[in-house]
């Protein structure tokens, strides 16, 4: 019987705060997982110029963030699946990167693609906003909130091809960037059997990336 190769991880970054390079943002998690570089693919959905970061903020205000970048996530997933035809793929997404993965699940993911993806982990990622205009706070700009008008992800569409516990959501108990309810599927009653939700009480929006509880849970499947 042919042995299944180890999983490849596609890491989807969030907003690159503190001048960090997008593709390096989740490097502390890779190190915490003790995962070799050969099994790690860092997806980059924005550039590193100041204008790229400004565009993200404008798109969040203009209800166009997800629609602008979701095709990039689709292309990244397709690329890895084609390059590694024998390996399962695990997606790990952080913050706004998770919002893009949710949009991808709801709009572009196919059953055949998800059959190759046994696990998707989203860390401190908003799936919905509670008001037509909600303020969010970037970790390094807590005194300068931005207004978000981005539409919430439609759970009925998101769950279409998911299998039970294929999606695991980590919620940072000390998050000051978004509300815990933004990241929770708790009000989507029909989704509770499909989504495993894990509260990490001691983590904030940034420290959740390499938190011991996160590394332990994800490490169980890698």
Give pLDDT, residue 53: 83
Give pLDDT, residue 188: 52
Query: Could you read off the pLDDT of 141-184 as tens digits, one per residue?
Result: 667 788 899 998 988 888 888 888 899 999 999 998 898 889 98
What lies within 8 Å, CB to CB, of 78 at 6+ separation is 113
Percent of the chain with pLDDT over 70: 92
Measured at the CA of 70, the angle between CA 68 and CA 73, to 5 degrees, comes to: 135
Residue 97's alpha-carbon distances to 1, 85, 112, in angstroms, are 37, 24, 22
Query: Could you read off the pLDDT of 91-124 as tens digits, one per residue?
Result: 999 999 999 999 999 999 999 999 999 999 999 9
Among 10-19, 26-35, 85-94, 209-218, name the one with the lowest average pLDDT: 10-19
The string of DSSP letters for 114-183 reads: HTT--EEEEES--S--SSSSEEE--TT-TTS-EEE-PPPP-HHHHGGG--TT-EEEEEETT-SSS-HHHH
Return d(Cα 80, Cα 63) in angstroms, integer.
Answer: 29
Confidence class of residue 22 from pLDDT cuts 50, 70 and 90?
A: confident
What is the enclosing helix (H) or strand (E) of 113?
Answer: helix 111-114
- Tell me the domains of the chain and their CATH numbers: 8-219 (3.40.50.1820)
Give pLDDT, residue 140: 62
Entry pTM: 0.94
């Amino acid at each position: 019987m042919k042995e299944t190769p180890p999983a490849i991880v596609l890491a989807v970054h969030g907003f690159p705060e503190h001048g960090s390079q997008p593709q390096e943002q989740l490097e502390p998690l890779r190190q915490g997982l003790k995962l070799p570089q050969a099994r790690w693919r860092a997806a980059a959905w924005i550039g590193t110029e100041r204008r790229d970061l400004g565009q993200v903020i404008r798109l969040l205000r203009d209800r166009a963030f997800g629609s602008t970048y979701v095709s990039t996530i689709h292309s990244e997933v397709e690329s890895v699946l084609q390059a590694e035809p024998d390996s399962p793929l695990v997606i790990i997404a952080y913050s706004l990167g998770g919002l893009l993965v949710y949009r991808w699940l709801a709009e572009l993911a196919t059953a055949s693609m998800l059959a190759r993806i046994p696990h998707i982990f989203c860390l401190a990622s908003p799936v919905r906003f509670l008001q037509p205009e909600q303020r969010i706070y970037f970790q390094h700009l807590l005194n300068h909130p931005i207004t978000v008008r981005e539409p919430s992800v439609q759970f009925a569409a998101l769950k279409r091809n998911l299998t039970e516990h294929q999606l695991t959501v980590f919620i940072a108990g000390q998050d000051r960037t978004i509300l815990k309810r933004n990241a929770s599927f708790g009000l989507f009653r029909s989704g509770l059997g499909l989504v495993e939700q894990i509260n990490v009480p001691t983590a904030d929006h940034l420290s959740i990336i390499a938190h011991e509880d996160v590394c332990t849970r994800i490490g169980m499947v890698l």
